[in-house]
Amino acid sequence: MVAFYASSGDIYSATTIFSTVSDHSPLLFNAVIRALALYKYSHQTLTVFNEMVMLGYLGDNFTYPFVLKACSELKVVKFGEVVHGLCLRSGFDRDLYVGTSLIDMYVKCGGLDLARKVFDEMRVRDVSSWNVLITGCMKEGLVDYAEGLFKRMGDRNIVSWTTMISGYSQNGLADKALRLFDRMLGEDVDVKPNWVTVMSVLPACAQVGALDLGRKIHGFAKEKGLDSHPSVKIALMAMYGKCGSLAEARLCFDSVGLDKKNLVAWNTMITAYAAHGCGVDAVSTFEDLLRAGMQPDDITFTGLLSGCSHAGFVDVGLNYFYSMREVYFVEPKYEHYACVVDLLGRAGRLGEAYDLVHRMPISAGASIWGALLAAGRKHKNLEIAELAAKKLFVLEPENSGNYAILSNMYAEAKMWEEVNNLRAQQKSKGVKKSPGGTWLEIDGRPHLFLGGGTSHPRAEEIYMFLDTLPDKMKAAGYVPDTGFALHDVSEEEKEYNLITHSEKLAVAFGIISTNPGTVLRLTKNLRICVDCHTVMKFISRIYEREIIVRDVNRFHHFKDGHCSCGDYW
DNA sequence: ATAGGGTTAG
């Protein structure tokens, strides 16, 4: 009876009857522990297990996997260690399932060293044991170690491949993720990708902005009947959003039935609108969410507020922010304050932004000082920028971008001594300039361009194109904005530094190597600079091209000499 | 009986 209720998920009935039985057999304990763990009543699982141990029964190979699952769920390594000790005493630690569950528990509780120790000491291992450890390594960023395990393991199943692919995606190695997905299809014919596999490879497309490749994978999913799963559709939405195709993201969103539209789906759509600067759509989607009877969460509000920020809807955004707690019962967190500081700062209300930083109940961190620094730069407020930058030099000393911004502002103000001091400071701390890079997708293949790079096979043509550009642009009314070039060098040299920015190289290659009218899609690892932004506008008009640039935090759609951001970014 | 997953501001 208990087992029947337990397996059907009626935990209440199962535990009620369980408590009326006076003579608990090990079998009965196992049934209840299994049910409680599977339905994530983790505390209760441990309570019942404890009761069992008190009665002198130490548990067997059917008890431990579920007790350990409860420990993993709670993420308390201390509990896990106690249970591990009991495993050893009971002698069931030698069991394959118990061993694998131990590894999983240590991985989920953040004890990778202990997980590796258990793995090394196991006498029998199966695919799952290897897979669990690979997951742990990927989570901790030990990509090389995970690769070693993957290479060494005897037989790999679809979970092994999927784990590697999603691990690469999570560690920002989109290239490797995409290549492994390909290799899996070609090499291991016995392995059948499922919906989780599709979901794991999509973030890699998103990372490098590989729209065509993403579409191909969408087609592949359709062909295999894997595209109807709501989670796959959500991953597709995110991919399309991050690859610059809002329309396709919206199509996926609409194809999820209203009853299956969970909060993640809504949040993804709102976030996509926000990244594209479509404030009106972000707000109206938020209102649709409320009408659909959903309860927004903290992520909904980060999307909504950043949407308002990117679109310049300062007061609308502030209103939402102030009503979060009372109207929507969502406690404003750090990231919401960061959005509001950005919202105010971007709009030039630096005083209010700075006030907020001091009034907030949470202390400001890197993203908030980063927002203030960006605001200081945009509105040429050196005082605020200096203040924010000094905080950032302490909080994220390795981030060269912060040095660059302040240094550029000093240069603009012709404060050469400060420029030199800053450069010396940067050098003494060993901060390396992070190279600018831009991806351009051509025929479904992403091409990488690095700032100042000359290694491209068609570098000569690219530079030739860029060399002739200024004259064409000057004829159309262009004045290069060299104010923020890093060095105190001649005007001409500054112009040259600007010319070698990676997005210019990429757009040049795009223009000379694709048919007229082809939309150019660029993905950048830094923020786009003012001069590149201006150049893109001119190129879109002179060459009649639509150019879509994704920089680190938003999209710019250039068309006929204008940008969708309205120069507000 | 154990394993892989989607949304987060600068």
Nucleic strand B within 7 A of Cβ A399 = yes
Residue A488: how many CA atoms within 13 Å on its side-chain side?
13
Residue A428 pLDDT level (bands cut at 50, 70, 90): confident
Say if residues A299 and A330 touch (Cβ distance below 8 Å). no
Which DSSP symbol is given to A274?
Answer: H
Span CA (A150) to C1' (B3), Å: 14
Q: Is the pLDDT of residue A220 over 90?
A: yes
Retrieve residue A164's tokens: 């590697």
Retrieve residue A523's tokens: 């993905």
Span CA (A341) to C1' (B10), Å: 10
3-class DSSP state of A442 = strand
C-alpha A202/C-alpha A208 separation (Å) is: 10
Give the per-residue pLDDT at A273: 96
Q: Which nucleotide is nearest to A7 (CA to C1')?
A: B1
C-alpha A36/C-alpha A38 separation (Å) is: 6
CA-closest candidate to residue A321, choices A288, A346, A296: A296
Give the per-residue pLDDT at A293: 92
Nucleic strand B within 7 A of Cβ A231 = yes
Residue A480 pLDDT level (bands cut at 50, 70, 90): low
Tell me which amino acid residue A442 is.
I
Span CA (A207) to C1' (B1), Å: 38
Give the per-residue pLDDT at A487: 45
Environment class of residue A447 by beta-carbon count within 10 Å: exposed (0-12), middle (13-18) or buried (19+)?
middle
Give the per-residue pLDDT at A488: 42
Span CA (A136) to C1' (B1), Å: 21
Place of tokens 């890079």: A437
Strand partners, A558: A547, A563
Q: Which nucleotide is nearest to A96 (CA to C1')?
A: B2
Q: Is the pLDDT of residue A1 over 90?
A: no
Retrieve residue A5's tokens: 């209720």
Give the per-residue pLDDT at A5: 66
Nucleic strand B within 7 A of Cβ A44 = no
Region A455-463: mean pLDDT is 87
Residue A99: how many CA atoms within 13 Å on its side-chain side?
22
Percent of chain A with pLDDT over 70: 93
3-class DSSP state of A302 = helix
What's the whole-model pTM score?
0.88
C-alpha distances in Å from residue A427, one per residue of A391, A397, A416, A420, A423: 18, 11, 16, 10, 6
C-alpha distances in Å from residue A338, one per residue of A13, A116, A353: 47, 39, 10
What tens digit of pLDDT does each residue of A76-102 get?
899 999 999 999 999 999 999 999 999
Span CA (A481) to C1' (B3), Å: 55
Say if residues A460 and A469 touch (Cβ distance below 8 Å). no
Give the per-residue pLDDT at A567: 80
A432 compared with A276, residue with greater pLDDT: A276
First to last CA, chain A: 63
- Taking each helix axis from N to C end, the angle separating A382-395 and A400-412, rounded to the nearest 10 degrees, works out to 160
Strand locations in A93-174, DSSP E?
Answer: none
A476 compared with A285, residue with greater pLDDT: A285
Q: Is the pLDDT of residue A4 over 80?
A: no
Region A440-463: mean pLDDT is 84
Number of continuous H segments (helices) and E segments (strands) in chain A: 30, 6
Residue of least CA–C1' distance to B3: A128
User: A361: which residues sit within 8 A by CB, 6+ positions away?
Assistant: none
Say if residues A529 and A500 touch (Cβ distance below 8 Å). no
Which DSSP symbol is given to A528?
Answer: P
Which DSSP symbol is given to A432?
Answer: P
CA-closest candidate to residue A553, choices A380, A387, A394, A371: A371
Element (H, E) at A548: strand A547-550
Give the per-residue pLDDT at A455: 79
Give the per-residue pLDDT at A401: 84
Q: Is the pLDDT of residue A484 over 60?
A: no
C-alpha A112/C-alpha A105 separation (Å) is: 10
Residue of least CA–C1' distance to B5: A196
Give the per-residue pLDDT at A132: 96
Span CA (A430) to C1' (B5), Å: 39
Nucleic strand B within 7 A of Cβ A126 = yes
Say if residues A74 and A43 touch (Cβ distance below 8 Å). yes
Give the per-residue pLDDT at A481: 64
Residue A525 pLDDT level (bands cut at 50, 70, 90): confident
Nucleic strand B within 7 A of Cβ A96 = yes
- Region of poorest pLDDT, from A225-229, A504-508, A523-527: A523-527
Say if residues A563 and A537 touch (Cβ distance below 8 Å). yes
Nucleic strand B within 7 A of Cβ A7 = no
Number of neighbouring beta carbons within 10 Å of residue A527:
18
Region A50-61: mean pLDDT is 92
Say if residues A67 and A45 touch (Cβ distance below 8 Å). yes
Give the per-residue pLDDT at A495: 59
Q: What are phi and psi of A179, to 5 degrees?
A: -65, -40
Q: Is the pLDDT of residue A243 over 60?
A: yes
Nucleic strand B within 7 A of Cβ A438 = no
Q: Is the pLDDT of residue A443 over 60?
A: yes
Which DSSP symbol is given to A435?
Answer: P
Give the per-residue pLDDT at A2: 64
Nucleic strand B within 7 A of Cβ A58 = no
Residue of least CA–C1' distance to B2: A97
Q: H helices of A347-399, where?
A: 350-359, 366-378, 382-395
C-alpha A356/C-alpha A335 separation (Å) is: 13
Nucleic strand B within 7 A of Cβ A235 = yes
Beta-sheet pairing, A520-524 with A547-550: parallel
Q: Is the pLDDT of residue A489 over 50?
A: no
C-alpha A501/C-alpha A526 separation (Å) is: 11
Residue A485 pLDDT level (bands cut at 50, 70, 90): very low
CA-closest candidate to residue A246, choices A520, A537, A555, A16: A555
Q: What is the mean pLDDT of chain A?
A: 89
C-alpha distances in Å from residue A65, one per residue of A68, A204, A216, A245, A434: 5, 33, 40, 44, 46
C-alpha A87/C-alpha A114 separation (Å) is: 15
C-alpha A244/C-alpha A233 separation (Å) is: 16
Place of tokens 């899609």: A521
Span CA (A308) to C1' (B9), Å: 12
Strand partners, A521: A548
Nucleic strand B within 7 A of Cβ A197 = yes
- Region of poorest pLDDT, from A307-316, A481-490, A498-507: A481-490
Strand partners, A522: A440, A549
Percent of chain A with pLDDT over 90: 68
Question: What dihedral angle (degrees, nearest 10) is formed by the CA atoms of A11, A16, A20, A26?
Answer: 10
Span CA (A22) to C1' (B1), Å: 26
Q: Which nucleotide is nearest to A107 (CA to C1')?
A: B3
Measured to protein CB atoms, the chain B nucleotides within 7 Å are 1-10
What tens digit of pLDDT does each residue of A169-209 get?
999 899 899 999 999 998 878 889 999 999 999 999 999 88
Give the per-residue pLDDT at A471: 87
Nucleic strand B within 7 A of Cβ A15 = no
Q: Is the pLDDT of residue A34 over 70?
A: yes
Starting at the edge strand that comes first in sequence, how are the strands of the sheet with A555-559 ordered? A445-450, A437-442, A520-524, A547-550, A555-559, A562-563
Q: Which nucleotide is nearest to A233 (CA to C1')?
A: B6
Retrieve residue A409's tokens: 């502002």
C-alpha A82/C-alpha A470 separation (Å) is: 70
Q: Is the pLDDT of residue A448 over 90?
A: no
Q: Is the pLDDT of residue A486 over 50?
A: no
Number of neighbouring beta carbons within 10 Å of residue A414:
11
Region A112-121: mean pLDDT is 94
